[in-house]
Amino acid sequence: MKDTCFLPDFLEEISEDIDTQIESLGPCKIENPLRLPEACFVTDEMRISLRVSESYLREALKQKGTIPSAEIAGPRPYIYFDPSKTRAAVVTCGGLCPGINDVLRSLVLTLYHSYGVRHIYGIRYGLQGFIPAYGHDVVELNPEVVAQIHELGGTFLGTSRGHQPIDQIVDALERMNLQILFMIGGDGTFRAAARIKEEIDRRGLKISVVGIPKTIDNDIWLVSRTFGFVTAVEEACKAIRCAHTEALGAPNGIGLVKVMGRYAGFIAAAASLATKEVNFCLIPEEDFDLEGPQGLLAALERRLAERKHAVIVVAEGAGQKYVRGEKVEYDPSGNIKLGDIGTFLRDQIKAYFKEKGIEVYVRYIDPSYIIRSVPACVDDQIYCGFLGQYAVHAAMAGKTGLMISYLNHHFLHLPLAEAVKRRKQVNVHSRFWLSVLESTGQPRLKNES
């Protein structure tokens, strides 16, 4: 059997056809004002081959005669927009995530200092900020305004969830005479960005739309790692260590930690690998049984009999078959509302051992809102700086309908339409997940049928 090796950037091989062509608003005729050595500039012909499966590679070579590749990000020798006449706006959407303010700051500093753009606007409270009925103010951004925002968690501009009328958003872009729109968000934001671009195209406007991928869960397709993920793992590790200390402090102590991860268990898995103190890691991608001889409760009982303590980490989207109601409900962003797997497991564990007459001490920790609200760690701060810079380079060159992706150890341009086709998830047959199983020592937690 072919070994699906762990990829340090958490991305599986691409096994489906994707369109990597990036749209442009027109020819670039203005010399780039950046005072850089010629070798620092890149051209559209400079591309990076994508990591693809062997079967897809053979088919691509057979059908097209080329290996799939993507356009490399970076400053172009010539740009499309005249900086002295360019007006740009930035909006942050969806949930909070460490590093948003770092990206905002990088966008503003690059536009202002590198390109000389003086008209930069922050849209308050997500896409609501474009809609007149909400009455949100627009913030004028410059280096002085954003000087210290990277020291804060959350988003300086505020955010919101939910759909807003696309035609009214584009109306606002026209009224403000904007040439560039930066959208920081996840797959829901990118779907909205794609629709905004379509409406811009329908009206024949020359407005660049550039997306910067943001999700603490690290589940955006065609992105190796999203900003804020490393910070989230570091903060999750702190909670896990506290849970381990609590578990050691009492006979049959159980530390139970719930972390973010609606559809993907990257935070739970990476934190389990990092701490080496987790005995059970539960993620959405790997189904588990609660009852039965091979279920979680029986495995937990065996663990306590052997070691007198245990630590469980569960992603919020794991085990939803136990907690989701019959009627499916959705949040304002269109995501299925999750049942609370953390409190469910806490109560089930207590009830199971009470029935058996075994005294246990369960310490439940849910640090989700703390994790997503902290300032970014140094690694994420550096990463966010690059994302903001590359987004500005792409926009000033008149590119549109794209996101800035970190993929195959390079910053690339990839179409928004491709990024929203699917979600990235933990490959449970990969070396990465097998390493988690080795680290925890947990069995499969499934009863034989």
How far is 37 from 74, CA to CA, in rounded Å?
Answer: 13
- pLDDT for res 10: 64
- pLDDT one-digit tens code per residue, 347-392: 999 999 999 999 999 999 999 889 999 999 999 999 999 999 999 9
- pLDDT for res 54: 74
- pLDDT for res 3: 37
**Percentage of the chain lying above the pLDDT 90 cut:** 80
Two structure tokens written together for 449: 């049928």
378 phi and psi, to 5 degrees? -60, -45
- pLDDT for res 62: 74
Is pLDDT of 236 > 80?
yes
Beta strand 180-185 with 208-213 is parallel
Is pLDDT of 5 > 70?
no
Instruction: Output the pTM of the full model.
Output: 0.92
Q: How confident is the model at residue 61 (pLDDT cuts 50, 70, 90)?
A: confident
How far is 253 from 340, CA to CA, in rounded Å?
Answer: 22
Which class is 23-226+376-419 in CATH?
alpha beta
Assess contact for 117 and 83: CB atoms under 8 A: yes
DSSP category for residue 435: H
Assess contact for 11 and 224: CB atoms under 8 A: yes
Q: Which residue has the tokens 């609370």?
A: 340
Which is nearest to 345 in space by CA: 256, 263, 418? 256
What residues contact 202, with CB distance under 8 A and at least 6 apart? none
- pLDDT one-digit tens code per residue, 429-444: 888 899 999 999 999 9
Two structure tokens written together for 393: 């380079």
How far is 84 from 162, CA to CA, in rounded Å?
Answer: 35
Is pLDDT of 109 > 70?
yes
* Mean pLDDT within 204-232: 94
* Mean pLDDT within 306-331: 89
- pLDDT for res 165: 94
Q: Compute how many other C-beta atoms are within 10 angstroms of the C-beta atom of residue 51.
A: 17
Is pLDDT of 8 > 60?
no
Q: How confident is the model at residue 2 (pLDDT cuts 50, 70, 90)?
A: very low
Which is nearest to 77 in space by CA: 45, 111, 30, 114? 30
- pLDDT for res 276: 92
Q: Do domains 23-226+376-419 and 230-372 have the same CATH topology?
A: yes
Return the CATH superfamily for domain 230-372.
Phosphofructokinase domain (3.40.50.460)
How far is 277 from 371, CA to CA, in rounded Å?
Answer: 19
| 44 part of the active site | no
Is pLDDT of 29 > 90?
yes
Assess contact for 337 and 329: CB atoms under 8 A: yes
What residues contact 54, with CB distance under 8 A and at least 6 apart? none
Is pLDDT of 7 > 60?
no
Domain extents for the chain? 23-226+376-419, 230-372
- pLDDT one-digit tens code per residue, 82-97: 999 999 999 999 999 9
* Mean pLDDT within 11-20: 74
Active-site residue, from 9, 17, 19, 217: 217
Q: Compute how many other C-beta atoms are within 10 angstroms of the C-beta atom of residue 144.
A: 9
* Mean pLDDT within 246-271: 95
- pLDDT for res 384: 97
Work out the angle at residue 159's Cα, subtended by the Cα atoms of residues 392 and 20, and round it to the nearest 5 degrees. Answer: 40
187 phi and psi, to 5 degrees? -65, -35
* Mean pLDDT within 221-241: 94
Assess contact for 247 and 303: CB atoms under 8 A: no
pLDDT mean across residues, the chain: 92
What is the 3-class SS of 227-269, one letter each residue?
ECHHHHHHHHHHHHHHHHHHHHCCCCEEEEEEECCCCCCHHHH
- pLDDT for res 431: 87
Q: How confident is the model at residue 115 (pLDDT cuts 50, 70, 90)?
A: very high
SS3 75: coil
DSSP category for residue 129: G
* Mean pLDDT within 286-307: 96
Q: Which residue has the higher pLDDT, 66 or 411?
A: 411
**Percentage of the chain lying above the pLDDT 70 cut:** 95
- pLDDT for res 14: 72
